[in-house]
Amino acid sequence: MPKFKTHRASAKRFKKTAKGALKSGNAFTSHRFHGKTKKQRRQLRGTSTMNHTTLKTYTHLLYNI
């Protein structure tokens, strides 16, 4: 049985935290900021943790569990 390979695109975008959550950058941050409020732009900075419903899918891509 061959070894599983890590999905490299996912590995570049997500990092695992100490408690097992995945953190990533936010979507909707590349352009068209004139349609967003200052509060939205401020809250889209930095990183956020992934929702637990999609966590299983992405951990399988990263760690082949």
- What pLDDT, on a 0 to 100 scale, did the predictor assign at position 52? 87
Overall residue count recorded for the chain in this entry: 65
Condensed to tens digits (0 to 9), the pLDDT of residues 22-65 reads 999 998 999 999 999 999 999 999 999 998 888 888 888 888 76
Single pTM value for the model: 0.69
- What pLDDT, on a 0 to 100 scale, did the predictor assign at position 18? 93
Quote the DSSP letter at residue 20: S
Q: Which CATH number fits domain 1-26+36-54+56-60: 4.10.410, 1.10.10, 1.10.1070, 2.60.40?
A: 4.10.410
b/e 37-55 (16+ beta carbons within 10 angstroms → b): eeeeeeeeeeeeebeeeee
- What pLDDT, on a 0 to 100 scale, did the predictor assign at position 3? 84
Question: How many Å apart are CA 40 and CA 45, to the nearest integer?
Answer: 9
